[in-house]
Amino acid sequence: MKILHIACLVSALWLTGCATVGSPQGDNAPTTSSKAPATPPAAPQAPHTPVFPSGPLQPIALAQATNGEVASLSAPTDLWDRIRRGFAMPDLQHELVPDREQWYASRPDYMQRMTERSSKYLFHIVEELERRGMPTELALLPYIESAFNPQAVSVAKAAGMWQFMPATGTYFDLKQNAFRDDRRDVLASTRAALDYLQKLYNMFGDWHLALAAYNWGEGSVGRAIARNQKAGLGTSYTELNMPAETRMYVPKLQAVKNIVANPEAFKTELPLIENHPYFQTVDITHDIDVSLVASLAGIREEDFRALNPSFNRPVIFAAGTPQILLPWDNAKVFQRNLEARREGQYASWTVWTVPSNMSVAEAAQRAGMSEADLRSVNSIPPRMLIKAGSALMVPRSTTTRQDVSSHLADNGQLAFTPEVVTRRTTVRAGKGETVASIARRYKLTAANVADWNDVRANAAFKVGQQVVVYLPVRPARASSAASRPSVGSKRPAAPPARKGGTPSKVKRR
């Protein structure tokens, strides 16, 4: 074996010598005859200096494993595992946390329903959080806000999974009109919620305070911090004086985080949520009925609305909502069936802008539909007139091809005014009274007075003649006795005024 090694070494040296001697100019000759520039000699490498830890080795926290310092050697097994790896908020140490852990752990049916409902939306939320570099604990926030119900509405009128108040939703460009409410939209509301949470974190520099502000309002948290600073007190989440709901808010999130981190410790079983998208976006180019979308996609209408909960009406206007969400496997089915559809219209409904104040009965007659159907499709309450400029959903004629404009799809509103209740009354005409003078006296139109009495609009009445008019019924003035309904009255008592006018729900966003 030694002889073989020596032979190989001699052969290598001989070949090297041949290569050198084969050069026509030798090693010291200039290389002017070569067209290629000479390769500069490689710089000498600095000797490698190993770095040793100064103290004993410490285990790596989950937060360190997600910040780019440490690469994971295995992919997440499911979405829960992926969420755990992204935990980056400091744990809240508070006596309310074990209390909320016990509350959730003792309600396995509630936890099961809530987590199963979240399976449609969690992947998208986690993707957005990771893209922004935000803690994945925030993906659990809708459990606290709405139990992941996109149709949830609080007593303070906060709506959607992320529970946006109307004004805050408008600030973050969540459209709220007669046809859709983007506070319930999965993509739009998630974008707005994460924008808001980032804004609050940048404002307070602390996730617990940012969450308190999300629930209570940034102004309220700012004032609470200022009061503590003035009194020489601490300004952390646990040290601020805040309402009970906000005091419980972060402990609730911490409790859910602890259960997700270690469900076995709480004897809880989380449903499997696979680590891949549940839905995908699909472009639409025409106004289209919700029922037709569900039919072409091969899904139930309620399943479609679970992914697209912002739509208030039975039709989707492409100019306002050019994309819809469909389950991953059904998106291609919908596109294939839509392309194969060659006849028939896509939308059965369009929008009519009401030219003047009118009754529901009159509007229904003009739209060519029953009053009950008009009320139902437009959610018109009883005893209301439709105000001029309102955008009403009405049947689309079979010859109409024009889709609803983007301005109307984004800004159409329905407004109402109380219907005036009138009573038939007869009055006696004075000397020289005419239809016009009676109309002026009672603030009516001459056309109505003439119509009610079957005379011309320029007719005159005889002295003492009875004239029929319909006058508004004036409600009796409230008195201390009248304000209390008598026994057997169907009129409900007015609710007592709340001191200070503060709503029972803390939401002030």
CB under 8 Å to 105, separation ≥6 — which residues? Answer: 111, 259, 266, 267, 268
Q: Mean pLDDT for the chain? A: 84
Domain count, the chain: 4
Q: What is the pTM of this model?
A: 0.72
With a cut of 90, say whether residue 397 has pLDDT above it: no
Identity (one letter) of the amino acid at 501?
G
Active-site residue among 101, 137, 145, 433? 145
Let me know whether 78 and 110 are in one domain.
yes
> Residues 429-449: pLDDT tens digits?
999 999 999 999 999 999 999
H/E stretch holding 349 reads strand 349-353
> Residues 95-123: pLDDT tens digits?
999 999 999 999 999 999 999 999 999 99
Considering 290, 307, 340, which residue would you say is the last residue of a domain?
340
Cα(239)–Cα(316) distance, rounded to whole angstroms? Answer: 48
Tokens at 265, concatenated:
């410790």
What is the predicted pLDDT for the residue at 41? 43
> Residues 76-100: pLDDT tens digits?
889 999 999 999 999 999 999 999 9
Q: Which residue has the tokens 């009255």?
A: 489
Considering 382, 399, 418, which residue would you say is the last residue of a domain?
418
Q: What angle do CA 146, 257, 159 make, to 5 degrees?
A: 15
Let me know whether 396 and 467 are in one domain.
no
Let me know whether 412 and 446 are in one domain.
no
Question: For 180-190, what is the mean pLDDT?
Answer: 97
The whole-angstrom distance between residue 456's C-alpha and the CA centroid of its chain comes to 58
Quick one: pLDDT band at residue 399, thresholds 50, 70, 90? confident
Quick one: pLDDT band at residue 49, thresholds 50, 70, 90? low
Let me know whether 197 and 302 are in one domain.
no
Comparing CA positions, the residue from 187, 145, 140, 177 lying closest to residue 164 is: 145
Let me know whether 331 and 243 are in one domain.
no
Let me know whether 369 and 427 are in one domain.
no
What is the predicted pLDDT for the residue at 157? 94
Mark whether 145 is an active-site residue.
Answer: yes
Q: Which residue has the tokens 């009354």?
A: 425
Let me know whether 90 and 115 are in one domain.
yes
CA dihedral angle for residue 157, residue 159, residue 163, residue 169, rounded to 10 degrees: -90
Considering 302, 323, 340, which residue would you say is the last residue of a domain?
340
Helices (H), 42-95: 62-65, 79-85
Let me know whether 380 and 335 are in one domain.
no
What is the predicted pLDDT for the residue at 23? 36
Cα(198)–Cα(209) distance, rounded to whole angstroms? Answer: 12
Q: Are strands 466-472 and 288-289 parallel, antiparallel or unpaired?
A: unpaired
Is 416 strand, coil or helix?
strand
Let me know whether 410 and 448 are in one domain.
no
CATH number of the domain enclosing 464: 3.10.350.10
Question: For 483-507, what is the mean pLDDT?
Answer: 36
Domain carrying residue 374? 349-418
CATH number of the domain enclosing 356: 3.10.350
**Least confident interval from 51-60, 148-157, 170-179, 398-407:** 51-60
What is the predicted pLDDT for the residue at 473? 80
Q: How many CA atoms lie within 13 A of 453 on its CB side?
A: 29
What is the predicted pLDDT for the residue at 398? 75
Let me know whether 249 and 150 are in one domain.
yes
What is the predicted pLDDT for the residue at 189? 98
Let me know whether 287 and 155 are in one domain.
no
**Least confident interval from 22-36, 40-54, 139-153, 399-413:** 22-36
Is 423 strand, coil or helix?
strand
221 in any annotated domain: yes
Q: Decide if 275 contacts 76 (C-beta within 8 A).
A: yes
CA dihedral angle for residue 202, residue 203, residue 208, residue 213, rounded to 10 degrees: -130
24 in any annotated domain: no
> Residues 223-253: pLDDT tens digits?
999 999 999 999 999 999 999 999 999 999 9
Is 298 strand, coil or helix?
coil
Q: Which residue has the tokens 């992947």?
A: 123
499 in any annotated domain: no
Let me know whether 427 and 409 are in one domain.
no
Q: 248 to each of 47, 94, 152, 153, 497, how far by Cα in Å?
A: 57, 10, 20, 20, 26
Q: Decide if 129 contacts 139 (C-beta within 8 A).
A: yes
